[in-house]
A and B are shown apart, each in its own frame.
Chain A
Amino acid sequence: MIAISEMSFRYKSRCPVLDNLTFNMEAGGVYGILGANGVGKTTLLHLIGGLLFPKSGQINVHGHTPRYRSPAFLEQVFYVPVDFDLPSIKVAVYQKRYAPFYPEFDLDAWNNALQTFGIQPDMRLQALSFGQRKKVLLSFALASGCRILLFDEPTDGLDIPSKDSFRRLLSAQIDEQRLAVITTHHVHDVAMLLDHLIILQEHRLLLQASIADLAGNIRTVTTTQLPLEKSLLYSERVPGGYHCLLRNTEAQEGPLDLELLFKALQISPEIVQNTLRYEKHI
């Protein structure tokens, strides 16, 4: 659904923001993009959304080249930026004004999302808090019927129950025809949603893998004593013990802490990479 091939991008300065990226994203999945500040996560979303154009390489999104910004492409892509602005109108007016541009807009999904988030259609957008306005934008994105949903820090500004609501609403919307891409620093907020992980480091692709593959090779445990076993890949002290990343040698089922995995990859990418059996993905 999204195919990126040898794509590089730089702003006016010489330093590349994204360098020679190649990867695919398939429909039916929720992809999480992680990376340190300034690594190019938001830039990557802008490139996929056709707001920026690659300096070299190709991007293909659902059969379209984003840089052409054709209406048929824009009808299929909805981008929820971290820095957004909504007009000073009522919530219902916002829907009436913008929904006609999206042929597959689902009014029931819109009403359901608003109800779930506790937003009344007669509320004025300017009277709402940042988090409430974010809920309106997320509701619109989820109801837009777009095949590709791009979220930049979607849980930023949301309260704890709303984060859960967002996860449930997004899960309900993603089917075999749709794809969601989420960039975030709050990986715990969306970890349960993700089924693919992309990690960027120093403007390059450090890791792309499905969560299932990762969980089959790596596991996380919290122990009072630092394990001495060979399977230990990375550990950090936490109150009352150690949080450890281990090789999943016996294919044990258990939760995988993506934040710990991210930290381990930042500090010693080679250790984790060597552990993963599917090196072709890296």
Chain B
Amino acid sequence: MKNTFNFQRFVQVLRLSWQTQPVLPYIVLLAGIPIMYLIFSMEARSVFISLRSDNPFLVFNAYFWICGWLYAGLIYSELEKIGTATRYLMIPASNLERWLAKSLLAILVFPLIAWLTFNLAFKGFEMLSLRSFAFRYPTIDWLSKDMFISFFLFYLALPAAYASGLT
């Protein structure tokens, strides 16, 4: 295979991959917000509130992994049907450009969107919970070692395997 790389064409492939990316993970991302609120509000109402609760971190991980793995699992869904596969494979781009575009979306762009969505939802809950329950979770340390392990060892392993075609 000739894996030539042309930056301008790569940007076109990336744009096309973004435009044709799976929608289901985004639906799950939004559907996860009410579930997240339910879990948080149950803890906020509980008499056993721990000031060092790891719940947001655990909820984030579950949310992040489910959506991220779903996204990674669907990123090559074009290849499932002959009609879509033919369209995708006949696009004038090298395999390297296609693979890099998909990998960038699965490993960087979607996780970033999931992280931002979680943070926005979490901030929203904090505002609500302060007013309703006079309750606030401790700030999540996004640069902690646990987060690092969670992201790199648990989250990235599966999408990377999917994106690289190992699974």
A97 touches B19 (CB 8 A): yes
B87 touches A84 (CB 8 A): yes
A78 touches B20 (CB 8 A): no
The docked-state distance in angstroms from the alpha carbon of A86 to that of B87 is: 8
- Determine if B53 is an interface residue (Cβ-Cβ < 8 Å): no
Known: A83-B82, A85-B84. A71 touches B90 (CB 8 A): no
Residues 41-83 of B at the A interface (beta carbon under 8 Å): 81-83
Chain B: CB-nearest residue to A79: B90
B81 touches A75 (CB 8 A): no
Binds B, one of A12-20, A98-106, A176-184, A209-217: A98-106
Binds A, one of B92-100, B108-116, B121-129, B154-162: B92-100
User: Which residues of chain A are within 8 angstroms of B119 by Cβ–Cβ distance?
Assistant: none
Binds A, one of B4-12, B28-36, B134-142, B145-153: B4-12
Interface size on B, residues (CB 8 A): 23
A87 touches B86 (CB 8 A): no
B90 touches A51 (CB 8 A): yes
The docked-state distance in angstroms from the alpha carbon of A101 to that of B86 is: 15
- Determine if A170 is an interface residue (Cβ-Cβ < 8 Å): no
A101 touches B89 (CB 8 A): no
- Determine if A74 is an interface residue (Cβ-Cβ < 8 Å): yes
Chain A: CB-nearest residue to B13: A101
Chain B window 8-25, contacts with chain A (Cβ cutoff 8 Å), 1 for yes, 0 for no: 010010001001100000
User: Which residues of chain B are within 8 angstroms of A77 by Cβ–Cβ distance?
Assistant: 90
B4 touches A74 (CB 8 A): no
Chain A window 61-93, contacts with chain B (Cβ cutoff 8 Å), 1 for yes, 0 for no: 000000011111011011101011111000000
A71 touches B86 (CB 8 A): no
User: Which residues of chain A are within 8 angstroms of B4 by Cβ–Cβ distance?
Assistant: 70-71
Q: Distance (Å) between the CB of A215 and the closest chain B CB? A: 35
User: Which residues of chain B are within 8 angstroms of A100 by Cβ–Cβ distance?
Assistant: 12
Which of A72, A79, A83, A85 gathers most chain B CB within 10 Å?
A85
B16 touches A97 (CB 8 A): yes
Known: A71-B4, A71-B6, A87-B20. A101 touches B93 (CB 8 A): yes
- Determine if A49 is an interface residue (Cβ-Cβ < 8 Å): yes
The docked-state distance in angstroms from the alpha carbon of A86 to that of B82 is: 12
- Determine if B2 is an interface residue (Cβ-Cβ < 8 Å): yes
Known: A51-B89, A100-B12. A70 touches B94 (CB 8 A): yes
A70 touches B83 (CB 8 A): no
The docked-state distance in angstroms from the alpha carbon of A6 to that of B89 is: 26
Known: A51-B86, A83-B82, A97-B16. A69 touches B1 (CB 8 A): yes
Which of B1, B6, B89, B92 gathers most chain A CB within 10 Å?
B92
7 closest Cβ pairs, A-B complex = A85-B83, A74-B92, A75-B92, A70-B2, A85-B84, A68-B2, A71-B92
Chain A interface residues toward B at CB < 8 A? 49, 51, 68-72, 74-75, 77-79, 81, 83-87, 97-98, 100-102
5 interchain pairs (CB within 8 A)? Answer: A69-B1, A71-B6, A72-B92, A84-B86, A101-B91
